[in-house]
A and B are shown apart, each in its own frame.
Chain A
Amino acid sequence: MSPDSALIVAPALVWLCSSMSLAAPEVAAQKDRKWLPVLALVALSAVAVAASNGALAYAVVAVITLLHAAAAARTSRTSMLSMGVAALACGVAAGALWMEQLHIAFGASIVATALRCGLFPLHGGIASLCDKRPRVQAQQLASLPILVFAHLRFVDHTKLAFDAAIPVVLVGAASMLAFGLISLAQRDLGGLFRASTLMHGGMLFASVGAAGRGHYAAALIVAVTMALALNGFSMMLSALEARSGSIASLLGGGRARDFPRMAASILFFGGAAVGLPGTSGFIADDLLLHALWGESVASAVMMILASALLAVAILAGFARTFLGKPVRQLAPDLLPMERFAVIGLVVMLIVLGVIPSVLVNPISVLIG
């Protein structure tokens, strides 16, 4: 692929994945569809990925993050503060890039990434979003690949990025393992979703660290997979909540008989998040594993262990909620629009899993 084509294809694909993740929950929602903020985010994302100027890209990402902070403000001040600081860090990165201070831009971008990934112990904001405003969390997760793309494209080529790679990777891997373990202790799907999101946040942070030494493709495919798979998972949890009440207090299982499509979708998205073959999760795990192994063997082992623990926790959590003695459900299984949204995300995950070069090749040409 020529650099000119990559300049168009790579940003377009990142934007497409991000936009699909943004739109899917709105398409699936049965009421309270809020298209205006979603369309604004989609438009801003397009500007951010298309910008050939780093300062502009980061300024737009700062605006996107500020919109997430505003959306979070209604229910959680912790989340608002967390997103607000992340927006500020993006703004600092934009300013630093404007003044050609690459080291400062890199540091600010890493801070923004850590906050938006929910890196331990900065995870209060993201954890609160997962618990209280899953729809806003879905949006911030969907726009995360845009931040990662900007980071890889504009601030990740410095000596500081190279030198900081191993500490960043180790911090991310430790956070990943901690939340992988914590996922085992969760008794409800809400807690499982929170732990899973934070575990993947650690994974993304580690991959961004490894990108400092040239593993760009791993970082981007991890971000994209995280957005698609976790948003699908979150979307199904919202669908379940709309039918059965708060997922934090769901007792007993037995929902698979009346909600078979929902059960299968949750299992698929959960599987994709932990590396199900045939989905982009498998490629993301494979690429990241090799990237981490090259930088720090300990972090690679932590990643494998965390992923295995989360996989077991997801199956156990799924079994607790959906399997067991059937409980008659009065609500219907997935409705047509929900199925439509599910299929969109599933197709993206499978296409990127079966033909990963569609995304990886342009990224390698553009950034590598």
Chain B
Amino acid sequence: MGERFMHLFLGFAIVAPFVCALVVAVGLVLARHWLSESVVAATIRRGLTVSVLASLGAIATYLGAFGAPIRGEIEYGNWLAVGDYAIPLTLLVDPGALVFSLLASVLTLLVARFSRTYLHKEPGFDRFFFLIGIFAAGTQLIAFAGALDLFFAGWELIGISSALFIGFFHERDEPVRSSVRAFATYRLCDMGLLIAIVTIHELLGSTKLSALDSAGSLPALESSAIAALLLLAAMGKSAQLPFSGWLPRAMEGPTPSSALFYGAVSIHAGLYLLLRVSAVIEVAPYVAAFGVFVGVATALYASAIARIHTDAKGALAHATLAQIGLILAEISLGLTTLALIHLSCHAMLRVYQYLRTPNMIHDAHTAGHGHHHSGPGWLTKLAPKTSERVYGAALHRWRLDERVDAAVAPALGLARWLDRVDHRVRSSLSLDARS
């Protein structure tokens, strides 16, 4: 009885928003006239409401409201099975999954409700709600995924919807460029997750999260390599150094999507991945130490910028990044429960702050600017020269984007050179050119 309910609840939590998004998409492609705002918003909101209720139902079933408590892996068979290779349709119900699922579904529903008014008569209204539906399905999939293949499917849905949200105001050049940049960062870092998934399958015989408990039996080099690849994926999604450059640019998107993605859910997805694979991180001490270093370095970098940033959303983005860095350090230190609590509270606070940002600016303008000149900070008192340097570097965001561009330039040069070679090969072998 309880197990059947759990199957249904988990299925609805993931599928409902996806189906509603598909319904909207089909309607938009087929309808002679565009669907009205109210129809689109109501369809997606229904999917999100079902997702929230299903998430609550899963919690009730986990606690034993429908018979014996149902916990651990819930099997739906195989998504695909070929020979000895299978993609198991396994979902995992544990406190971490339930917290993340409820957090993500409730915040998504709230942001959707907020956006109904905020984006009224905006040209991309339908697109926004369609993407919210896809994003919600992706977050529920990563929340409950019991196998890394399923996790990757949800991870990709989040990445694609995130990139499309950044470029939401596509009539301006800057959001479009930022969207491509964020997507490129995601895809390159996702390589880490993909390679890790295949390696885990080859070495542990399964991509189920439960199989990771035996990661300790692997040789140190192999477990460290897997942990490093997973950390790379998390660093890209959670904008940790040196992949932080896309986050301030992501503020080009509409405020509700910034709140949902870069305040609440998407930015925490990398950390959630590390929480799910903490068994691997635990057995790779060098990678864990590197994770602490990256987290602390990102926190310092972002907090220095947040203090001097002049636009509200940019400052908030860097403040978010600083906290994300600290949560990464907590996870790397093995403080996973603290990290989950920190993550949840942080997500809720940031959604509120992001959604309030336009009002805060409005309030500041109507109430007048209150300039509070505080005295010099501790760093200025202790080391004035260093303080000046930090201030100057923070003004230019440590020239991070320029350094990343310089690192990527050789690859683009190679691409152009190969293109020329290809052109020459085709010309020299072409019969058309000779005729």
Q: Do A and B come from one complex?
A: yes
Residues of B within 8 A of A277 (CB): 152-154, 156-157
Q: Which of B82, B154, B156 contacts A275 (CB 8 A)?
A: B156
Q: Which of B184, B202, B414, B435 contacts A181 (CB 8 A)?
A: B414
- Do A315 and B82 touch (CB < 8 A)? no
- On whether A276 and B156 interact (CB within 8 A), knowing A283-B80, A300-B198, the answer reads yes
Any chain B CB within 8 A of the CB of A248? no
Q: Which of B29, B170, B187 contacts A261 (CB 8 A)?
A: B29
A282 to B160, CA, bound (A): 13
A interface footprint on B291-311 (CB within 8 Å = 1, 0 otherwise): 000000000000000000000
B interface footprint on A58-78 (CB within 8 Å = 1, 0 otherwise): 000000000000000000111
- Do A326 and B171 touch (CB < 8 A)? yes
Residues of B within 8 A of A282 (CB): 153, 156
Residues of B within 8 A of A308 (CB): 187-188, 190-191
Residues of B within 8 A of A185 (CB): 412, 415-416, 418-419
B165 CB to closest chain A CB, in angstroms? 13
B interface footprint on A119-132 (CB within 8 Å = 1, 0 otherwise): 01101100110000
- On whether A254 and B157 interact (CB within 8 A), knowing A319-B176, A357-B81, the answer reads no
Residues of B within 8 A of A360 (CB): 80, 82
Any chain B CB within 8 A of the CB of A217? yes
- On whether A301 and B195 interact (CB within 8 A), knowing A254-B171, A324-B170, the answer reads yes
A282-316 residues at the B interface, CB under 8 angstroms: 282-283, 286-287, 289-290, 293-294, 300-301, 304-305, 308, 311-312, 315-316
Residues of B within 8 A of A78 (CB): 429-432
- Do A290 and B201 touch (CB < 8 A)? yes
- Do A77 and B432 touch (CB < 8 A)? yes
Any chain A CB within 8 A of the CB of B149? yes
- Do B170 and A286 touch (CB < 8 A)? no
Residues of A within 8 A of B412 (CB): 184-185
- Do A271 and B180 touch (CB < 8 A)? no
Q: Which of A124, A254, A339 contacts B29 (CB 8 A)?
A: A339
Looking at B25, B412, B415, B416, the one whose CB has the most chain A CB atoms below 10 A away is B415
Nearest-CB residue, chain B, relative to A271: B160
Any chain A CB within 8 A of the CB of B167? yes
A interface footprint on B25-59 (CB within 8 Å = 1, 0 otherwise): 11011100000000000000000000000000000
Any chain B CB within 8 A of the CB of A278? yes
Residues of B within 8 A of A304 (CB): 191, 194-195
Any chain B CB within 8 A of the CB of A107? no
- Do B170 and A342 touch (CB < 8 A)? no
Residues of A within 8 A of B167 (CB): 319, 323
The number of A-B residue pairs with CB atoms under 8 Å apart is 142
A interface footprint on B74-112 (CB within 8 Å = 1, 0 otherwise): 000011111101010000000000000000000000000
- On whether A123 and B82 interact (CB within 8 A), knowing A312-B180, A326-B171, the answer reads no
Q: Which of B30, B83, B418 contacts A368 (CB 8 A)?
A: B83
- Do B432 and A76 touch (CB < 8 A)? yes
Any chain A CB within 8 A of the CB of B422? yes
B391-435 residues at the A interface, CB under 8 angstroms: 411-412, 414-416, 418-419, 422, 425-426, 429-432, 435
- Do B426 and A124 touch (CB < 8 A)? yes
- Do B163 and A315 touch (CB < 8 A)? yes
A81 to B429, CA, bound (A): 11
A314-368 residues at the B interface, CB under 8 angstroms: 315-316, 319, 322-326, 339, 342-343, 356-357, 360, 364, 368
- Do A257 and B123 touch (CB < 8 A)? yes
- Do B418 and A319 touch (CB < 8 A)? no
Nearest-CB residue, chain A, relative to B185: A312
B417 CB to closest chain A CB, in angstroms? 9
A228 to B260, CA, bound (A): 34
- Do A81 and B422 touch (CB < 8 A)? no
15 further interface pairs, Cβ-Cβ under 8 Å (given A120-B422, A305-B191, A364-B83): A121-B425, A184-B415, A253-B176, A254-B171, A261-B28, A264-B28, A277-B153, A304-B195, A312-B183, A312-B184, A319-B170, A323-B170, A324-B176, A325-B171, A360-B80
Provide a sorted-by-A list of 10 A–B residue pairs whose CB atoms are within 8 angstroms.
A128-B432, A184-B415, A256-B170, A257-B171, A264-B25, A276-B156, A282-B153, A290-B198, A293-B202, A308-B188
